[in-house]
A and B are shown apart, each in its own frame.
Chain A
Amino acid sequence: MARYVAHRLLMMVGILFGVLIITFGLSRVLPGSPVEMMLGAKPTQEQIAEARDRLGLNETLPEQFLIYLKNAARGDFGTSLRTGQPVTRDIANRASATVELVVVSLGLSLLFGLPLGVISAVRQDSWVDHAARAVSIAGVALPAFFIGMLLQMLFYGTLEWLPLQARIGAEVLLDHPFETVTGLYLVDTALDGNWIAFKSAASHLALPVLTMTLATIAIVTRNARAMMVDVLGEDYILTSRAYGIPARTIHYRYALKATLIPVLTVVGLTFGYMLGGSVVVEYVFDWPGLGGYVVGALINNDFPAVMGVTLVLATAYLMINLAVDLAYHLVDPRLRRS
C-alpha cells in the first residue's frame, strides 16, 4: 500500500508538472507581451522593467519556466489586474464560497443520485427506472446556466420564495454580523448561533446548490445504474440467489457493496464537473467564489487571475482523484494487499 501511495503521488507530481507546462505555455502565447497584460494600460518604464525582471522575460525560455515553477511553488501567481491584489490572496478569500457550494451540491447529488441509480438498476423497467432514465437523459441536455435561470424565474420571479443572487443578504450581514472561522457561512453562522444569518445564508445557497445538483445528478444516476446492473449480472449474485439469500439482502448488502467501490470514481468525476460548472453557476448567481472570479477576470483580461484559478482547481481535482484512487485500494480486498 505504501509503495502504491508513493507511486501515485509521484504520478500526480508528474501530471502537475505537465499542467504547469500547459499554463506556462498559454501565458506565453498571449497576444501582446505578458507584461502589458499584467500591468494593464499605460505602465511606467520602471514598472515594465521590474515586471520583465520578475517574470524573467530576459532569460531563455527554459529559465523562464524555472522561474515560473518557483513562483508557482511559492503560491505566487502574480497580481490580479482587476483587484490589484496578489492572485493568491484573492483565491484564498474566495475559495471558501466555492467549497461551500461544491461540497453541499456534491453531497446532495450523491445523496439523491446514487439511490436513484441503484433502485433503477434493481427494478429495471419499472416506473422508477423510466423516470430515472428520463431525468438522466434530460439532465445532461440542459446547460447549467439555463437551469439556474429557470430556477431564478420560478423561485424568485414567480414564487418569490428565494433570493435572486449573492451569498447572504446585505442588510443581514450589517445587522447580524458573525465571526468568520471556516469561511463556510452555514458553519460559521451556526457556530455563532446566529440563526437569522444562517437562514439568510441557507436561502441564498439554495438555488445555486439546486442548479449544480440538477446539472450533475444525471451523471451520478447514470453511472450508479450502469455499475449496479453490471454487478447484478455477476456470477456471485447468481450464487447468492441459488442459496436462497433474500433479494433485499442481495441487492442492498452484497451488490451495493460491490457497486460502491466503482462508484467512488463517480465522486471524482462529479467533483470535476462541479468545479467546471461552478464557473457558470457562480456567474449566474453572482456567487463570490472562484468561478465568479474567473468570469470577472475573463471580462477584464485579467490573465494572471485566470491562470491562478485554473492551476488551483486543476490541483484540487487531481487531489480528489488521488484520494478516490487510494480509497478504492483501501476498500477493495483484491487490491488491498498488492
Chain B
Amino acid sequence: MSSVAMVSEPGRWRTAWHLMSRNPLFVAGVVVFAVVIVCALFAPWLAPYEPNAINFADKLVPPGLAHPFGTDDLGRDILSRVIHGARTSLVIGITVLAIALVLGIPIGLLAGYYGGRLDSLLMRLTDVFLAFPPLLLPIAITAALGAGLFNAMLALAVSWFPWYARIVRGAVLRVRGERYIDAARAMGAKDMWIMTRHALPNSTTPVFVQASMDFGYTILAAASLSFIGIGARPPTIEWGLMVALSRTKFLDYWWIAAFPGAAIFFTVLAVNLIGDGLRDVLDPRYRGRS
C-alpha cells in the first residue's frame, strides 16, 4: 500500500487530484467555496441593492421576492450585504495567513536549520505565544493596538505564526540530515541558498495542508472579534459584525442574524471540507483517518 505514496512529484499531484475528485465532500466544498469566491469577486454586479443603502421605508422586511434574505433595521438588503461580506471574509483569511506565513516560515527555517541555542530560543518563543488560550491573545493584542479590522487581522496572524514556525522547523529537521544538504554545503553553497532551495520546498506540503485547514478557523476567529466589537466596524460589511448588530432584534426578526450566520457556517464548512480532502491525500500520516 505504500506504493501509493511513492509516486514521483508531478505524478503525485495528479494522483492527489484524482483521489480528491472522488471524494464527494471535497467536491461539495470546492463548489461552495467557488460560489463564495464568485460573490467576492463580482459583489457589486451580483448584489441586487447597494449594501449600505439605508431605507427606513423598507426596514425589517421578512425574506420575500423583493428581498430574498429580507432587510435589516436600517432597511438594508441582507442578501446584498451577505454577498459583499464574502469579500471581507476572503480578505481576512488571505491576509491573516499571509502575515502568519511571513512571520512563521523564516523563524521555522532558522530554528530548524541552525538548531542549537537559536532553535531552543525560537521554540520557547513559540511556546509563549501558544500559552494563551485561543482567541485571548488576539483580543489582548487588538485591545492594545486599537479596535479595527486590520489590527484584528494583525493580532490573529501574530497569534497564529507559531504553528507555521513549528511545521517548517519540523520539515527542515527532516531534511537537514540528508546527504544532499551535506553535498550542497561541501560544494560551497551558502546557508541562505540551501535553506530556500532545499529546506523550504520540503515544508510546502505540510504548510499548505495546515493553511488550508486554518483558513476557515481564521474567518471564524475574525468573526468572533467583530462580534465582540473589536474587529470590523461599520461601514465595513462583515458577517460576524452583521450578526453582532442583530443582537437586540434577532429574536423577533430571525433573518437578520440567520443569513450572515449561515454564510459564515457554509463558507467555513466548505473550506474545512477542502482542507480535509487535501490533508487526507497529501499528508500520508492522515490517510484513511478521520
Residues of the B chain whose Cβ atoms lie less than 8 Å from the Cβ of A140: 216-217, 268, 272
B133 contacts A314, C-beta separation under 8 Å: yes
B135 contacts A276, C-beta separation under 8 Å: yes
Residues of the B chain whose Cβ atoms lie less than 8 Å from the Cβ of A30: 144
Residues of the B chain whose Cβ atoms lie less than 8 Å from the Cβ of A156: 251
Residues of the B chain whose Cβ atoms lie less than 8 Å from the Cβ of A150: 261
A275 contacts B128, C-beta separation under 8 Å: no
CB of B132 within 8 Å of the partner chain: yes
Residues of the A chain whose Cβ atoms lie less than 8 Å from the Cβ of B228: 279-280, 283, 295, 298
Q: Give the number of residues in B that approach A within 8 Å (Cβ atoms).
A: 49
Mask: chain B, 171-201; 1 = CB below 8 Å from A; 0 = not = 0000000000000000000000000000000
Known: A142-B265, A156-B251, A229-B289. A317 touches B131 (CB 8 A): yes
CB of A23 within 8 Å of the partner chain: yes
B261 contacts A143, C-beta separation under 8 Å: yes
Mask: chain B, 221-238; 1 = CB below 8 Å from A; 0 = not = 001100111100000000
Min C-beta distance of A304 to chain B, whole Å:
11
* Cross-interface CB contact of B272 among A22, A137, A273, A299, cutoff 8 Å: A137
CB of B44 within 8 Å of the partner chain: no
CB of A330 within 8 Å of the partner chain: no
CB of A26 within 8 Å of the partner chain: yes
CB of B27 within 8 Å of the partner chain: no
Q: A310 to B137, alpha carbons, bound, how many Å?
A: 7
Q: A145 to B133, alpha carbons, bound, how many Å?
A: 17
CB of B8 within 8 Å of the partner chain: no
Min C-beta distance of B279 to chain A, whole Å:
12
Min C-beta distance of B13 to chain A, whole Å:
25
CB of B124 within 8 Å of the partner chain: yes
Q: A77 to B128, alpha carbons, bound, how many Å?
A: 20
* Cross-interface CB contact of A138 among B220, B227, B269, cutoff 8 Å: B269
B131 contacts A27, C-beta separation under 8 Å: no
Q: A303 to B145, alpha carbons, bound, how many Å?
A: 11
> By DSSP majority rule, is chain A's interface helix, strand, loop, or mixed?
helix
CB of B118 within 8 Å of the partner chain: no
B229 contacts A299, C-beta separation under 8 Å: yes
Number of contacts between A and B (CB, 8 Å)? 152
Q: A22 to B124, alpha carbons, bound, how many Å?
A: 13
Known: A19-B132, A152-B251. A137 touches B224 (CB 8 A): no
A15 contacts B135, C-beta separation under 8 Å: no
When C-beta atoms are compared, the residue in chain A nearest to B134 turns out to be A276
Chain A contact patch, size range: 35 or more
* Cross-interface CB contact of B134 among A153, A272, A298, cutoff 8 Å: A272
Q: Pull 21 A–B residue pairs with CB atoms less than 8 Å apart, ordered by A.
A: A15-B124, A18-B131, A19-B128, A23-B140, A140-B216, A142-B264, A145-B240, A145-B243, A145-B244, A153-B250, A153-B254, A156-B251, A157-B251, A157-B254, A230-B289, A272-B134, A276-B133, A280-B135, A283-B227, A298-B147, A303-B143
Q: Ordered nearest first, which 5 A-B pairs have the shortest CB separation?
A: A18-B128, A276-B135, A275-B133, A141-B269, A26-B144
A residues with a Cβ closer than 8 A to B are: 14-16, 18-19, 21-23, 26-27, 29-31, 133, 136-138, 140-146, 149-150, 152-153, 156-157, 164, 222, 225-226, 229-230, 271-273, 275-277, 279-280, 283, 294-295, 298-299, 303, 306-307, 310, 313-314, 317-318
B residues with a Cβ closer than 8 A to A are: 25, 124-125, 127-129, 131-137, 139-141, 143-147, 216-217, 220, 223-224, 227-230, 240, 243-244, 247, 250-251, 254, 257, 261, 264-266, 268-269, 272-273, 276, 289-290
